Structure 1
Amino acid sequence: MKNVLSNTKKVILIVATMATVMGYANEISLTRYGKDLKSTALTIENVKEGNLLFIKDVYGSVLYKEVIEQTGLYTKGFDLTALPDGNYSFELEKDMEIKTMPFTVDFKEVTVNENQETTVYKPHVDQKDGLIYITKLAPAKEPLAVKVFGLYDNDSELLFSETITDTQSIERIYKLEAGRYKIVFSTNNKEFTKFINK
């Protein structure tokens, strides 16, 4: 009976999460406007104060960074034609996810690559009763590499490493002794770091 309830809760959680994901599918849009259509308006629904907006080049270098100051609807105009020819992306970093919308600048013409828009779900770390809980949504069953480092004065030591694959709902529990730790997560060509003091 416990297994049935536990599995039912997991299914409800996954369905609720996927419904939320579907609800955010069209939350970022670009509209070209102005004389000669040089300016581009970026509109993002459902932003929260503290979210981060970036414009990055193909190498991941940050060309523009803004901290969202108001919850709700975000709209801002950009002259993307001022960028050199190449591939770029808008990246919106929220609490639990990073949404990326790629675009290309070619001879002062901006093309939005909507079919290449992606969402990466960030790992979530929680401490409770001396245990470390790690959860992450991985809709495409993308792997998550986890490395746990012990921090000692000015030195660190790799204590544990694993790569989790073939699951859409990643859930792990670690028991760590008292001390200072750094947990490094790698997924979708992105790296996330969490520091823990126990």
Structure 2
Amino acid sequence: MKNVLTNTKKGILMVAILATVMGFANEVSIKNFKKDLKATALTIEDVKEGNLLSIKDDHGITLYKEMIKQSGIYTKGFDLTELPDGSYFFELDKEIEIKTIPFTVKSNKVTFNKEKETTIYKPFVREENGLIYISQLALDLEPLKISVHALYYDSSSEIVYKETIKGIQNIERVFKLETGSYKIVFNFNNKELTKYINN
């Protein structure tokens, strides 16, 4: 009976996540203006205050960065034709996901490739009743490295747990940590995310 309830909960969670993913499918629209106007209008639905929008080149170097100041619909014009020929992408860093929108510039012409847009889900951490819950949706079975560091008053730290999780789509871990301060470092998809815990 316990297994049935656990599997039912997991099934409901996966349906909810898939519904959320499908909801994001049409949230970004891009318009290139012709003739005298060189601007590209970027419109993103359902942004939240504090989301980070960046333009990066294909080496990951940040060329532009903006913190979203208002929740709702974000619209802004960019003159991307001034960029040198090459590959670039918009990156929208949200609470639980990072969305990339790739484009190329060639001879002052900007081309977006909708088929190569990606969404990466970030690890999610929550505390409840003295337990630390970690979850991540890894659609492409990408590995997740977790390291938990105990932080001490003299500014030193010690790794108390380390793990690399591979080949799992719905990653879930639960930790019970002794009272204190901790830093949890996640490495995934060539990105690093740090969360601090005080319990």
Secondary structure at 2:17 match in 1: helix
Structure 1 counterpart of 2:17:
17
Distance in 1 (CA, whole Å) between partners of 2:5 and 2:131 is: 23
Task: Map 1:47-58 onto structure 2 (within 5 A).
Answer: 47-58=47-58
Matched, 1:177 2:178: yes
Q: Which residue of structure 1 lines up, in the alignment, with residue 97 of structure 2? A: 97
- 1:163-174 matches, within 5 Å, as 163-174=164-175
- Normalised by the length of structure 2, the TM-score is 0.93
- The alpha carbon displacement at 1:194 in A equals 0.4
Tell whether 2:4 aligns with 1:8. no
Separation of aligned partners in 1, 2:123 and 2:56:
22
- Aligned length in residues: 198
Partner of residue 154, structure 1: 155
| Structure 1: distance between partners of 2:23 and 2:195 | 28
Q: What is aligned with 2:107?
A: 107
Is 1:38 the counterpart of 2:22? The answer is: no
Structure 2 unmatched runs, 5+: none
Q: Which amino acid aligns with 2:54?
A: F
CA distance in 2 between partners of 1:52 and 1:186 (Å): 19
Say which SS state the counterpart of residue 150 (structure 1) adopts: strand
Q: CA deviation at 1:50?
A: 2.0
Q: Give structure 1 stretches of 5+ with no counterpart.
A: none
Please name the residue that 2:73 is paired with.
73
TM-score, normalising length: structure 1: 0.94
Partners of 1:107 and 1:128 lie apart in 2 by 54
Aligned structure 1 segments of 4 or more residues deviating by more than 6 angstroms? none
